[in-house]
Structure 1
Amino acid sequence: MESVNDYSEQALLAMVASGNELAFLKLFNLHKSKVYSVLLTITRSPECAEELLQDVFIIIWKRREYLLQIDCFESYLFIIARNKSYKALKKAAMERKKAALLRPEELHHNDTMESIFASEYQQLLHQAVNGLSPQQKQVYQLVKIEGLSREESARVMHIHPETVKAHLAKAVKAIRAYCKASFKMFFIF
């Protein structure tokens, strides 16, 4: 009695096409390591490659009646493996993207934290500005808060533009120092 081991690949494909499960098992055993290597190279995941290997051969079994029409079975097999790999990678990327979009609690948390930090910073900035000398405070408010130029601020305050520049430089330096020291204390606590 002849076994499936005695047949050429074309005869083996004919047997699989007719529904012979032993011939299909032989076909699987002949090609599984090569297909697995291709899948592993593309996916870089042994678990994913193993799962896709099963999927590739399920497709072969489901399409077995067309096996006799295929000129180069190995090429056909690798095209199925490649396509399954790319579909799996695309699906995984879409799931990661969807999962990132569906994390409103993290987004809410981040928005809340940003809001808290912004509020804390505004308070800190307000305290720093209040600690300036009267002229530095007025220059800072005119230039940085109200958006006036140095020349416009000089006209409002009835001082020279270079004096405005000097007061603004001292104000900014004092505010930076105050905020830097306060942030250090905030992170220590």
Structure 2
Amino acid sequence: MGKSNFLGLKNEIDLLIAISNSDSDSFEIVFKHYGPLLFDYAFRIMEDSDASEDLVQDVFISIWLNREKLKYIKSFKDYIFILSKNRILNTLKKKGREKLLTYAIGNVGIAYDVVDEDLIEEKRKKEEIYTILEDKISQLPSQQQKIFKLAKNEKKSYQQISEQLGISIETVRKHMFLALKTLKKEMQRENLDVMIIILSIIFF
């Protein structure tokens, strides 16, 4: 799967302009459309579902942090493809998987260092977001916190959490709903509700 498989949205330009003005609803629409495409693309190369899921989350956090640029981007499909390719290459380099790295680079025809990003500042902002999120999670009621961490950190399914804690799947789902509801409220106070959009889509 390559860039050609990234089909755009009909009203994409309007959505991107809205996102550049911090509209989280438009961001959610774009995330729901492109998220599965990015996951499939990443998984085909990395063959790792957890790493692919993390990549999708990382790419969209990056898009949100740099949202002011969106109104100037001529092709969002190219932009998001380059962001994804950058991160896949970096992940493969870190893992030392040379064979997959060669395949990933291929003959895509796009230089993966084209995107103008202040990587150090972006990394700092991401770390700040996660620090705030972890702090909010630590303030959740005990059961909600436990279930949320099992799902988020250990990537366990509701079924697995249900069996591990000896509670019904519906109870797990209820605690996750309440946890996300609380986190959304708290993150909105920090103007970081986009993080909860991402987490909500991943978990539900």
What TM-score does the superposition give when structure 1 sets the normalisation length? 0.45
Choose between structure 1 and 2: higher helix proportion.
1
TM-score (norm 2): 0.42
Larger Rg: 1
Structure with greater contact order relative to length (CA < 8 Å, sep ≥ 6): 2
